[in-house]
Chain A
Amino acid sequence: MKFKISSFKEPKHVGAVSCVGWNNTEDVFSCGDDHKLLKWNLVSGECLVITTFPEDFYPICLHLFPKINLGGNKHNDVILIACADGKFHIMNNNGRIEKSVNAHQGACLAAQWSPDGAGLLTAGEDGFVKIWSRNGLLRSTVIQSDVPCYSAIFNSDSSAILYTKGNSLVIKHLNSSSKTTKWKAHEGVILCVAWNANNNLILSGSEDGYSKIWDQFGQQISVSVKHDQPITSVSWSPAGDMFVIGSYNLIRLCNANGWSHCLERPSTGSIYSIVWSSDGTQLAAACANGNVLFAHIIEREYAWKNYTCTQTGRKVISIKDIITDQNDQLDYPDRVIQIALGFNHLVTATVKQCFIHKLTSWNTPVTFDLKEGTISMILLAERCICVIERAGISVYSYMGRLLASPRCSRPETLGRAAVSLGPDALALIDQSDRKIIQVFDLPTGLIVRSSTDNTVTKLIHKMTVSSIALSQSGPINERQIALLDYNRDLYVVTVKDSKPKFVKLGSQILSICWSAETELLVGLRANSAVAWCCPRAAYKSDWLALTTVTKDITDLGRNPSLLSVEDGVACICRGNGSRTHISLASFPEKLLKHVDANMWQDALQLCRTVEDETLWACLAVLAWQHNQLAIAEEAFALIHHYYQVCYIQHLRSTIPEKLTT
């Protein structure tokens, strides 16, 4: 993954550009020391002077009103600019100043709308952080201190403020009952901070040349290499999977785990501000030499079975079949935003349309139009595609037919871990109460869509849920959902049970993934991988232990994640970004496939050939669950569970005609 940087040859600003902001995914506002507000259009490559401010107008920080639906009353004054004379200005899209407020003594160094749009905060050289109403009336002075506050931001739900105080970072909760968290973060003055809504991690950049990632309790997650110059800007991508840091003549793109994707050294001077577009594929940077830099993320790589695809340009994807060595370039009319590869299909979303390519004939895609140009995620399952846009969630079939559009508030804030798509269900963690999981049934086959058939099942866990995964096989009434909660405990629930029971499978699990074809669940611990071959046997702990395969893996690094499980081989992304394939449960997965296909003789044959105790245990449990008593009897005998054998023999002798058929 790397940047493709583009900028205009002649700088349009005279003097330094101090701030930029995205209006939508095509338009960028920039403002600099030449008192001009410029609007850049990336599609047409135009640059317009919106307005010229008076001579004493030196902007420092610009923020655009968050794109949320405020229920009808559309506000037009959306641009918030903080100035060196301590004022902040609210202006409309045409650059007309609607409101100017004298906020601070000395410069006003930071200004941000709250994510819910209810108010705004400003921070100044005088060490004050103040909260103002939407119209610029002072609500409260939250913080008073004697050192300048260089940066202050809201968290995702506007309930807390993070601000800098010299070398320290401070989190102040706005409801007064909670304690403030303060910690020393850097050796030098902290210049910039960012707080991601999706992963809730904090990023800080300082004069000492380091950028560091913190969790919300002040624990250090990772630290960058030392840079020669102070870090002047940091920014999280909206999805929270990567971030950029800007310094003198330097832009670096990093993964959320801290390792670097790529490093660019444009000769632009210091980069005062970097902002991502809402789709997370482009960014704009304000440079000290008067340029505004635009960068696209390219060379994103995807692989599934024998296919790999790479985005080579803004509008070009190259796809390759490794076995036949056949490759091709797919050209799109617009910029490609999201790509998903899997289940024999390649799905790409451009600004306007979504393309579904069959991997057997990728030149004839099915297309459908998207509602809005900000698509944040594409999920694939065996029979359907889920497209998550700001306008809402939609589920389509691979033929491009809309199957369902489950209702959800602010879908663009959903992270990868908070949503899961099964072949006939979509599960979401409720964003307002993260203990609740909503499972939407999706219409399958030829059922005609209507608004009433979106039945929702609500599952309520006792803890905050951090990650969910739906099983990918089996009939809909046996659909299981695996969830990781805040304590990193793994639970499995059968969705369609009348009384859903949360069965605990294990603790200290970092990441989970279901096999794409069977009910094999794989979890990742700090230094081992665990495969639960029959998660449904979890109500009997000895059966669960027998059907679990554990394999030790060294040096997984920090925060590893499971990418996929295919044929019992788990693909793991380690903390340092490298991929590891671990053969974990290839025979059990084969067995599960035989059982799914109802080929009990083949399953038995497999067990007899391999002669592995775990495999026999799996067969025993599966045969017991599927009422195959003869096979279960043999299997239980081989794993020495004689009481179970006796029980089965008793059953077979008393009521043979009902159960053996």
Chain B
Amino acid sequence: MINFDGIKKITERLKWKQGDEDENWAKKAIDNLMKKLIKHNKQALENLEFALRCQGQQKTECVTIPRSLDGRLQISHRKALPHVIYCRVYRWPDLQSHHELKAIEDCRFCYESGQKDICINPYHYKRVHATGVLPPVLVPRYSEKPPQEVPPTLAKFQLMEMSGSRMPQNVNMANVNFTANQFHQYNPNGIEEMDTSQKFDIPPGVPTCLVPFDKVWEEQFWATVSYYELNTRVGEQVKVSSTTITIDGFTDPCINGSKISLGLFSNVNRNATIENTRRHIGNGVKLTYVRSNGSLFAQCESDSAIFVQSSNCNYINGFHSTTVVKIANKCSLKIFDMEIFRQLLEDCSRRGFDASFDLQKMTFIRMSFVKGWGAEYQRQDVTSTPCWIEIHLHAPLAWLDRVLSTMGPTPRPISSIS
């Protein structure tokens, strides 16, 4: 009667949830929708199936459900506008409010039209940039491990890679295997549409000034780690050379290059909150840098979660660039992908200095221990969290620098050169 395979496929995609979201919220939302559609509008169910299958490649019909009295729909304990709910479930897990959505022109029953029925076809809305949006907080449901920890069943991928195959590295540890290619299938429109607001017209035939990056990561140090407490920088910056490094809350004084103990850093202006938080850093985080392809993984070793803001990682998943990802104990996530950075740099280098310079943001990764920040938290800004670090990735920075130096100066006048 209904093609449940399609629905199953959809639920497989739900790899992320918002921080305060019920474990089964998205599933419940889908169940609710199915029931509504079966009851009111069986044709629409097929339309929805079709829309989800072609992912915005083709024109699709409206999928409507009746509008409730206050316009909102309750799923589990959460009440929200129906089109926001289904856009979030099917396309953008980081979506926070209807201010970030705009209906396409073809949509006859869009939310703004205020009709009795409301269209919830996720491909009838596009993402717009809303100002003053707090960073959304997302939690991965699956773990992405660095390649050396891949179990034997997946070792063939590595073998293929060693034999020169260009198989993408981000093999997933979860029961659902998905690679970077699948990522792009999953979210191509999400990424594209988020970019349209700042897209430039590139005249054809403009040469790119991309510098080959083969030598970039032969440097000894691959990152610099700076530790902060609230809005204060604490201790010396640490340059990292070991490819796996643990940043923990203990006081191990031996500096063997594979560990940074935050317990050693002293700060005379430390308050009780910071002290308390430092006690909960515990085993902290393990960072694994894969030198061969420049990707970085973070695994939470602490009993308390860590919170990561990496605009590269957000780009890969098609999230809002400021999204904060919550990583729970033992969960691992790829937080930087050099291949994506390379593609972006190639793209931006055609757009000029400012666009490329903006990529600098991707080379900084911020990570808070124990306490989170963002839309769902009291703390709106990382500089309000008690213990956090910033990681500067050297290879992409050096590479970006090389590209920038081959370009002309910025169109914005630099008033002072020192």
Partners in one complex: no
Could you list which residues of chain A lie within 8 angstroms of chain B, going by C-beta atoms?
none
Could you list which residues of chain B lie within 8 angstroms of chain A, going by C-beta atoms?
none
